[in-house]
Structure 1
Amino acid sequence: MITPMRSSRPTVSVVVPIYNVERYLRICVDSLLRQTLPSMEIILVDDGSPDSSGRIADELAAEHDCVKTVHQQNGGLGPARNTGIEHASGEYVGFVDSDDWVDPDMFKGLYDAAKRRHADIVFGGHKDMVNGKVNTVKSHPLAGMTLTTKSQILDIRERLFGHLPDDAEIEAFPMRVWTGIYRNDFLKEHCLRFKAILSEDTIFNLSAYQQAQVISFTDGTAYCYRMDNQPSIMRTFSAKKLKQYEGFIDELFHIAEQDPRRERCLLRAKRMAIDYCRLYVGLIAGGRLSWRQQLVETKRLTSSEMFHKYCRDYPMDKLPRQQRLFHEALLKNGLNTALLLLHMRQLLKKRIWK
């Protein structure tokens, strides 16, 4: 069911994929309804949610002319966003996860920058939120810059593959789509769509950066990323997750191999593979598994094709000290040590958040 929309073209279409978010959906949509940018549309894509999210979405669409709902069978985050893109009529398209929210000036800031710079894409920063309070403010590292040449854009695009061995920074380069907006005609012209894959934002942005003529970055941090204890596909352990990680890393390497800067991009992708190994063991350590089960799952990782193909010949001496100790433990089959390091890291994180 699709609710009717007015005929004039909206400024920004905000796509909100929905799945099991009945607790958060109204908060998310209320923040979009309070935007200072006029003439926006909000597209709620009910991805076959088994809770009451779909009903709430219909109620919101009935209450507000700028909201429309689309219901579909469950297909995952990427396909839900694609459905939203297909129904978007705005000049620009943005994405907001349905358990997050945004400050009132977010889309005005992005849209004004896009029009001022004639940009295909504009990105800002975000805030990590814990229990409704700001935990960390993360400005975009390129805030205030505008990339207007292919060389400039490709220099930055390379960073989406991951860190180089000598990179000093620890934080990954921002890859999420929800801090930005994309020119709708640009998306359509280049048939830019999400793949049904884990970390779909990175793969999507690799294509978007490749095609863009102008990319601008603002100093805004108006996106509020919820970091409470709600379930997350990226933070919940599942035995299927290893195959999903391998699928993403394989796709990343496939793209890197076709890049004109092949060797550098492949080296960055190897670092990404190492980071995903650490993330996977972190999920194991944070799951409700016995110690024996944790060892079994960690062994499954070190026996995987991803680990052997992409992680074994990386220059270990270039990794930050803690990461080097962890990865050396995996390489030497010191699974107990690797797990203990991850458990210690998680305990420290919990203390910081308290």
Structure 2
Amino acid sequence: MTYKISVIMPLYNVGKYLPASMASLFAQTLSDIQVICVDDGSTDNTLDTINRYASTHDNLVVMTQQNSGAAVARNRALAAAEGEFIAFLDPDDWYPDENVLEDLYHAASTNGALVCGGSLVEFFDDGKTVAQLEKPRNKCEFHEDGWIDYSDYQYDYFYQRFIFDSAFLKEEHLDFPEYRRYQDPPFFVSAMAKAGKFYALSRPTYCYRMVEKHVSWNEEKLSHLALGLRDVLETSRSYGYPDLHRTEAVRIFDLYRTWFEEVLDSSDGQLFEALKALEASIDVDFANNHRKTVNCKRSLQCLTRRYELEHPARLEGPELQADAFEEPSASQPKVCQNRPRVMTIVAGEGNAALFEKTVESLDRQAYANHQIVVLSSEKRIEDLAKIEAVAQAASFEPRSSDGIAADLNRCLSNGAWDYVHVLHPGDLMEPNALERLVGESEGSSASLCLYGTEFFFTNWEAYSRFAKTSISETTESVIERQEGADALVKALCAQNVPLPCLHQFISRKATKNQPLFDDGAPLLSFCGFSMSAAFSNQGVLIDPSPLYKARIDDSRETLVLNPRSMKSVALEALLGLMLYSPPSHHQAPCDETSNQTYAASLIERLLAPAKTDNDPIGHPSETPLEQMVLQRIEELSCKIDAPNPEAAENKKLKNELSRIKKSKSYRLAKRFSKAYGSVKKVLSRK
């Protein structure tokens, strides 16, 4: 027997809703309808209930299957359908009146429509109607009968309002992708795109129940969600629907992005692959560089890149390898033990999980003669010692009250090393980074190798905060490989490259058996040594390759991402360490006057934002250098030389004064005032 319409209904634990939906269905005035219900392994009374209806309705077909999802159920029903048209009814919804199917069939058959549909009415469980959405956002209602080109519609939800020509679906091989989530929009959009247009009725044709649904997201469901979104994006691009493309991207960014972030870390790679495919399907040019479309694509890139870096062992196949350099093969032995000794210190604030990620990254290094030291609080060390992988790979040093620089110097004095570098908890390194850095340092006369950074982000908020700094996401695109006395200044003068983007790989010969780090401000303890070594006869080598992977999250110090603050730090380090009382391991390039002239020239270059073809380093900015130096000195003097700090109203200022006066930064800052006079004289002679 051939029916006019086959109504398809998948069922899963919906026994309490079936009476309402079946009542509206069997009340339809269109008598020649077929009803196909597929029970998807329900565990409540759903199957018993629908079988009772089947016993009294010959046109009701009941099919059963193990729980496989609504898409599989609908596809089975499609294969068995005998109607001229196909309708879809969800078991918790209903038809608004008894004439719906007859009106749809009459409009479709009379007008020769492949797809025909009406408006949507949304109800809460208490029967109240959902307030209509503001126009033009509401695409769920039509205001007059007639043809609509899908290119003018470009919407992907609530396909249940429509009926579809059965022969058309079979000829075009249109069915539901067998996803656990988001299988409806790909089917609907593909059908609309292939039909090209549809016949619309202004009357309501579907009542959609608004229920509070709790979805327990797992990797499979989110992977299928991502693939469904990808399918719609690809169809929209193939058929030329930019509005739909933007709609999908906005939906991903505003709604689904946080779910992906929450689950990806614990996934085994399936979700990662789905998100890579989803990101690749977003075409920002096709969407006319729509802001949220651009943000959506960038957020997925940040998310998948973080997973690549943090979980390379979960990814299979060379196309999914996380790092830019090849992993050592299993047949290749690690480097001989008679090579130079490298000490890596993991120091800073962070939870045990961040320390674990960093230690795992270091433990994957191809370079064997390598010691990992974790410098942290006693409580954190106690937690880390319980993690077998960390305990086997690293040794532990407790933090003291003497400050980070003193703790770093203690670690160095207690160990045997030829090269040392420091990582922040949560940051990572390329697997061949140490092998490369040792090779470059051994082949150079430089005592300090600065290597480049790629920033990666824990979430979109972290990326947004970073993006406002205008810092380049990788040093490789803005710094050239270079060596010599000017190397660091050239790097700092490069656009958008503050000092923390360059990480230090330090040779023991740079220390001259002196403490390596200054015990002043924590940031200066690192930057100060860089400046000292950079302008000494020992020199510096810069490799811009992003061997270092810096994690950016909400806890990362704002100063690290602030180029203006970093230039102030660089200025402090240069004035204090180059012009007056340099450390005993520092060798000035020549006499004091020449040294001052040279330093003043370097400061001038450092602060110069502009570049020309004739002067690739830069030329002085319009703001007089002495004004910039004076402003910084005045800021420090105001903090240090307050006549009565106890009477100061600003508690924060008093705490800062106390901290500074207990450190070498106090004496260093005092020297700035004296240094300024000499710098000003040098500049006036130029």
Give the TM-score taking structure 1 as reference length: 0.69
Q: How many Å separate the matches in 1 of 2:292 and 2:160?
A: 35
Alignment-derived partner of residue 464 in structure 2: 332
CA deviation after TM superposition for structure 1 residue 297, in Å? 5.4
Is the counterpart of residue 254 in structure 1 residue 237 in structure 2? no
Instruction: Flag structure 2 segments of 5+ consecutive residues without an equivalent.
Output: 133-137, 295-458, 467-552, 555-686
Match of 1:74 among 67, 75, 78: 67
Which residue in the other structure is 1:162 paired with? none
Q: Report if the CA contact (8 A) 1:43-1:70 is conserved.
A: yes
For 2:222, the aligned partner's letter is: L
- Residues 250 and 214 from structure 1, CA distance in 2 versus in 1: closer, same or farther, beyond 3 angstroms? closer
CA offset at residue 308 of structure 1?
Answer: 6.3
| 1:40 paired residue among 33, 48, 71 | 33
The yes-or-no answer on 1:316 pairing with 2:291 is yes
Measure, in 1, the Cα distance between the counterparts of 2:293 and 2:75: 39
1:87 shift after superposition: 1.5
Shift of 1:121: 0.9
How far, CA to CA, are the matches of 1:300 and 1:307 in structure 2? 19
1:224 equivalent to 2:219? Answer no
- Could you tell me which residue of structure 1 aligns to residue 106 of structure 2? 112
SS in 1 for 2:77: helix
Separation of aligned partners in 2, 1:316 and 1:229: 31
1:291 corresponding residue in structure 2: none
- Bigger radius of gyration, 1 or 2? 2
Question: In the TM superposition, what is the alpha-carbon distance from 1:33 to its structure 2 partner?
Answer: 0.6
- Does residue 90 in structure 1 map to residue 72 in structure 2? no
Cα offset for 1:222?
A: 3.4
1:306 Cα deviation after fit: 7.2
Distance of 1:184 and 1:307 partners within structure 2: 31
Contact 1:140–1:218 (Cα < 8 Å) also in 2? no
**Which residues in structure 2 correspond to 1:1-354 (within 5 Å)?**
7=1, 9-103=2-96, 104-131=98-125, 132-136=127-131, 140-147=140-147, 153=149, 155-156=151-152, 159=154, 173=155, 175-197=157-179, 198-212=181-195, 215-231=198-214, 237-238=217-218, 240-259=220-239, 261=240, 265=242, 268-280=244-256, 305=276, 310=282, 314-316=289-291, 329=461, 331-332=463-464
Per-residue deviation, residues 30-85 of structure 1 (Å, max 9, x unmatched) = 11011122221211111222222122221111111221111122221112111111
Deviations 1:126-177 (A, max 9, x none): 1111122222357745443543xxxx735246x2xxxxxxxxxxxxx35322
Distance 1:238 1:56 in 2: 30
1:239 is displaced (CA, Å) by 5.2
1:254: Cα distance to partner? 3.2
Aligned-partner SS, 1:133: coil
8 A Cα contact 1:93 1:184, kept in partner = yes
| SS of residue in 1 equivalent to 2:92 | coil
What is the CA–CA distance in structure 2 between the aligned matches of 1:317 and 1:139, rounded to whole Å? 21
Superposition deviation, residue 105 in structure 1: 2.1
Partner AA of 1:144 in structure 2: E
Change (3 A) 1:275 1:63: same
Q: Residues 15 and 96 of structure 1 are in contact (CA less than 8 Å); yes or no, is this contact kept in structure 2?
A: yes
Q: Is the 8 A contact 2:226 2:278 kept in 1?
A: no
RMSD between superposed Cα atoms in Å: 3.6
CA pair 39-177 structure 1, distance change in 2 beyond 3 A: same
Hey, what's the Cα distance between the residues in 2 that align with 1:329 and 1:127? 37
Q: TM-score, normalised by structure 2?
A: 0.38
In terms of mean alpha carbon deviation, does 305-314 or 117-126 score higher?
A: 305-314
* C-alpha distance in structure 1 between counterparts of 2:124 and 2:150, whole Å: 35
